[in-house]
Amino acid sequence: LQSPIIKFLPDEVLDGILKRTQASAGDLIFFGADKKKIVNDSMGALRDDLGHAMGMTSGAWAPLWVVDFPLLEYDPDNSRWNSLHHPFTAPKAEDVEHLGSDPGRVLSRAYDMVLNGTEIGGGSIRIHQRDLQQRVFDALGVDREEAREKFGFLLDALQYGAPPHGGIAFGIDRIVAMMAGVDSIRDVIAFPKTQKASCLMTEAPSSVDNSQLRELHIRLRGKEN
């Protein structure tokens, strides 16, 4: 083993690393130290770059499902939990009991479809029980009054009965881009916007006539300093 960090690791830790990675002579092991998401994203990007640089991509179609997403993620800046997908995603049944005590260990019933490293679709099984939806709101720090004000219609609908349901949405533009062999979906969109978010065909965004605004009961306000 050759590394400047070896002197900081006990022999039993080094043995555990070798057994876990099944590394042998000539292998290279990468370490990352930071918040879990930062390490995962960084190591994932490194893996992808090395794979392309070493010619390990075969060009074959390799679809897969990504599952077992966390239901919630912690926001240290605001000291609260946020939904990783959206607050109506159902948690796994075996994890519901941890919503109040350990939200970070709760997995969701969300799923993504990935093709050759590109996400082409995603969705989830939704919550269809009022009490479970309220428990998720509680874990998110949404009090009962706010939940009633913002989502009362949903809670009422769930109370009177809703069947188990879910869905998935596919990104057709991404699929077409992969089939066409291009890197950007702008190359396969009929009327792509420019880098400044303007449309060359419709000249949007543009000024709107005041009569149109009045018809839609929209009032524009100046930007406050």
Query: Taking residues 93-109, what's their average pLDDT?
Result: 96
Residue 26 domain-assigned (yes or no): yes
Residue 125 domain-assigned (yes or no): yes
Distance, CA of 32 to CA of 178 (rounded, Å):
31
Residue 118 domain-assigned (yes or no): yes
- Whether 69 and 37 map to the same domain: the answer is no
pLDDT tens digit sequence for 193-209: 888 889 888 888 888 88
- Whether 84 and 141 map to the same domain: the answer is yes
Q: What is the CATH number of the domain that holds 102?
A: 3.30.930.10
Burial bucket for residue 4 (CB in 10 Å: 0-12, 13-18, 19+): exposed
DSSP 166: E
- Whether 30 and 126 map to the same domain: the answer is no
- Whether 75 and 161 map to the same domain: the answer is yes
Three-state DSSP class for residue 214: helix
Domain count for the chain? 2
The predicted model scores a pTM of 0.73
Q: What's the pLDDT score for residue 109?
A: 98
Note whether 126 and 165 are within 8 A (CB): yes
- Domain final position from 37, 58, 79: 58
Confidence of residue 5 (pLDDT cuts 50, 70, 90): confident
- Cα-Cα-Cα-Cα torsion 153, 155, 157, 159, nearest 10 degrees, comes to -150
Confidence of residue 225 (pLDDT cuts 50, 70, 90): low
- Whether 93 and 149 map to the same domain: the answer is yes
Q: What's the pLDDT score for residue 142?
A: 93
pLDDT tens digit sequence for 129-161: 999 999 999 999 999 999 999 999 999 999 998
Three-state DSSP class for residue 169: strand
Q: What's the pLDDT score for residue 183?
A: 86
Which residues, 6 or more positions from 159, have their beta carbon under 8 angstroms from its beta carbon? Answer: 130
Q: Which domain holds residue 91?
A: 60-190
Residue 223 domain-assigned (yes or no): no
- Whether 26 and 128 map to the same domain: the answer is no
- Whether 19 and 53 map to the same domain: the answer is yes
- Whether 43 and 18 map to the same domain: the answer is yes
